[in-house]
Structure 1
Amino acid sequence: MLQIGTGEYQEGPTGVTVFRFGKKVLGAVDVRGGAPGTVNTDYLRLGYERPELDAVVLSGGSSYGLECTTAVASALKDDNIRNGLWDNVALSVGAIIYDFGERRLNEVYPDKKLAQAAFQAARPGKFPLGAHGAGRFTRSGGFFGCAAYSGQGGAFRQIGEIKLATFVVANPAGVVTNRDGEIVAGYLDPNWPKLLKTTDLLAALPASHKHGWNGVPEGGDNKNTTISLVVTNQKLNCVELQRLAVQVHTSMARAIQPFATIGDGDVLYAVSTGEVVGEQESGVAPSIFGGMNVGDLAAIASELMWDAILASVPEQPRAAEPLQSEPPQANELLAFAGSYYFSPFVTLQIFIKDNRLFALATGERAVYAIGKEDPVELKPAIAGQFMVPGRYPLTFKFDGPDCLIVNPGHWQQIGTRDPDS
């Protein structure tokens, strides 16, 4: 029985998603991206027919999150589910996504403790969509400079006794695209052509990839990844399972455009739990074990994966509205001034000049649209909130430790005010 557990560090935010099986299962892997980060994928490529796989682990934290995969294996050992005998050693495989860089203001990463907590919390039938687990701080669309928030998604279908489930953690450079060719999520520049579709962006390359094409906004880092899993209870051999992985992974280029770029670490795992052989359909080439034709199985799974990718996109945060009434006076603005510490390399200085509030990054790194050289004026919005150039407001909180929130909601970054500032 497939059980799923998620763990998150809200301080990041970042997280991990663990898929554990109640028995050893047969696994395959297909790697497409130009910058993959994986554990134990080479073993799956050897094509052994004996089921060996215990768990699939998808994690944030870039290379530092890889320890989550081995942590799940040691949890299986510590819980006496597996032991040290050569034919009973735990096997977990996993892949990571890059969720650092300019998207968040710290470098918290999923570790062994978080992965083992997610492993212990795994339950059947529940998979949170959007900004959860390994999809806690993912983005899509950075290739065209219109990066929006993404997450993890899933889809399920049952045909007779045969079950198919697809899962994805979407952090691609390309834009998520629906079946009508429309961009599902992205902060599109207002100067871009109206009714813009993904094909329009692709047709305009390389101009649409660069600054200056009808006002393309500033792009982000070029480290992106989509990691995914397809699970079926139909019994397949290694060749069939590998073909399922390849076909489904190839199909994802419809939902994510462009797909598998040099900066993506795209990896797909395919699993057969082997409970169902099924009846052979007349006139249709079945699996070697009977049941559904593997081509049909993969085609259905490909559509499910598209559904999973669409389901991964959470509701996007909205920009604050400017204040219509009289702006705060200088004496009122004093309450917000100070030095706000986000991490050892990110500090934001808030100060008053000419009866207006300004922000300047004074640490090693910028704070989104607020750089280190030119102060940015903060425009008042609702009480305790100011607009900054870009998409997100700054929100000041004084009901506990004085703090400043950037990117409110699922993706908030919190800076604490220096009491001496």
Structure 2
Amino acid sequence: MRNLITDVAGLKVGNATDLALASGVTTVVFDRPTTASVDVRGGGPGTRETDLLAPDTTVDAVHALTLSGGSAFGIDACAGVMAALAEQGIGFAIGDARIPIVPGCVLFDLINGGDKNWGRFAPYRDLGYRAAGNAGLDFPLGTVGAGTGATTAILKGGLGSASVRAASGHMVGAIVAVNAVGSVNVGDGPHFWAAPFERDGEFGGLGLPSPLPAPRLAPPMKGIPAVEEPAAATLANTTIAIVATDAVLTKAQCKRLAVMAQDGLARAIWPVHTPLDGDTVFAAATGFKPLAEPVRDLAWIGVAAVEALARACARGVYEASALPQPGAIPSWRDSWER
């Protein structure tokens, strides 16, 4: 067990990171065509080819799923992943043509101090190509890939991952780039909202504060002074994620899994799914282990996905390091590790 999404059989993860750009790309590449769907809850999403993941559409499998920085420019990362797969002859077959199916989504990291003066074409297609070429079973967390330029309300965001075996016996994993308008931490302190799910001190072992602070109707939110007009930075958000299982699922069941998995964001980030986020969760089933009892087992897999995604969010912030640009938002370790 790596405590990574790659504990799920049938997939690999690749990252491409550019610290000068303060952005990057993460892709999950599947060993074979894989059933997937998606659920979008944020008010400002940026996505590619999510319509074909609906249960009533024709294409029944994907070859990769991609998370990227760069806002709408980052959608080009999917084209880079497609190019890498096409070179290997991978794709949806239509006659002699092979079309790699690579849905994806993006987060906003364009005003984090990185050098975004890239000229005519943004670099995300090349970053996507590099990420696909780097795909493997082991990968770092924190300020890497799609989490490179990510931030939260009070601390540096980042790329997180976690895994768990569901009560049904199926393996479930999650990977997430945490770039929330809200916070993964309780109030202004070091404790994580996901603390009840933590395993083996994976994000500090602090538990929840006692007593819990009183509820705040105006919690910390990125770019929003407590009672003043929203600033431009308010729109610089979105948490994007992929959950995966080794179960055999239909697209409709993957859709339900993606819906359930969104609760992992809700258990780890406060507030979440706001008009200022584009929160998007993909769900994929690599098809190695059938369901013994479809309704019950899918429910258990969904419960495991909630836990894995909540823990992944906390790990992404816990493992992050501050960007090298002047005035960069501090990391959790900068703020709390002594």
For the aligned pair, the TM-score class normalised by the smaller chain equals 0.7 to 0.9
Moved more, 241-250 or 265-274: 241-250
Q: What runs of 5+ residues in structure 1 fail to find an aligned partner? A: 142-146, 186-193, 281-285, 319-341, 343-366, 369-389, 393-406, 411-421
- C-alpha distance in 1 between matches for 2:164 and 2:65: 20
Can you list the C-alpha shifts for 1:266-316, whole angstroms capped at 9, x where unaligned? 1100001111115x3xxxxx217xxx6211210121011111111001467
Specify whether residues 211 and 271 from structure 1 end up closer, same or farther in structure 2 by C-alpha distance, changes over 3 A only: closer
Alignment of 1:240-279 (within 5 A): 240-278=253-291
Q: In structure 2, what is the equivalent of residue 309 of structure 1?
A: 313
Q: In structure 2, what is the equivalent of residue 202 of structure 1?
A: 217
Q: Any conservation in 2 of the 1:48–1:238 contact (CA below 8 Å)? A: no
State the TM-score, normalized to the length of structure 2.
0.77
- C-alpha distance in 2 between matches for 1:114 and 1:204: 35
Relative to its length, the structure with more strand (as a share) is: 1
- Matched residue SS, 2:28: strand
- C-alpha distance in 1 between matches for 2:220 and 2:132: 44
Relative to its length, the structure with more helix (as a share) is: 2
Moved more, 76-85 or 297-306: 76-85
User: What RMSD, in angstroms, separates the aligned Cα atoms of the two structures?
Assistant: 3.4
- Matched residue SS, 2:215: helix
- C-alpha distance in 1 between matches for 2:220 and 2:24: 34
- Matched residue SS, 1:239: helix
Specify whether residues 195 and 211 from structure 1 end up closer, same or farther in structure 2 by C-alpha distance, changes over 3 A only: farther
Structure with bigger gyration radius: 1
Q: In structure 2, what is the equivalent of residue 5 of structure 1?
A: 14
- C-alpha distance in 1 between matches for 2:309 and 2:131: 23
CA shift, 1:205, in A, is 9.4
Q: Any conservation in 2 of the 1:177–1:184 contact (CA below 8 Å)? A: yes
Can you list the C-alpha shifts for 1:200-250, whole angstroms capped at 9, x where unaligned? 3336799xx63579xxxx994432000001100111122221111101113
Q: Any conservation in 2 of the 1:16–1:118 contact (CA below 8 Å)? A: yes
Q: In structure 2, what is the equivalent of residue 166 of structure 1?
A: 174
- Matched residue SS, 2:42: coil
Which of these residues, 296, 316, 319, is aligned with residue 300 of structure 2? 296
Q: Any conservation in 1 of the 2:234–2:276 contact (CA below 8 Å)? A: no
- C-alpha distance in 1 between matches for 2:268 and 2:289: 30
Which of these residues, 70, 79, 89, is aligned with residue 99 of structure 2? 89
- Matched residue SS, 1:149: coil
Alignment of 1:30-49 (within 5 A): 30-48=39-57
Q: Any conservation in 2 of the 1:148–1:316 contact (CA below 8 Å)? A: no
Q: Any conservation in 1 of the 2:143–2:321 contact (CA below 8 Å)? A: no
- C-alpha distance in 2 between matches for 1:6 and 1:18: 7
- Matched residue SS, 2:303: helix
Q: In structure 1, what is the equivalent of residue 198 of structure 2?
A: none
Specify whether residues 22 and 197 from structure 1 end up closer, same or farther in structure 2 by C-alpha distance, changes over 3 A only: same
CA shift, 1:36, in A, is 0.5
Which of these residues, 267, 291, 294, is aligned with residue 287 of structure 1? 294
CA shift, 1:30, in A, is 0.2
State the TM-score, normalized to the length of structure 1.
0.62
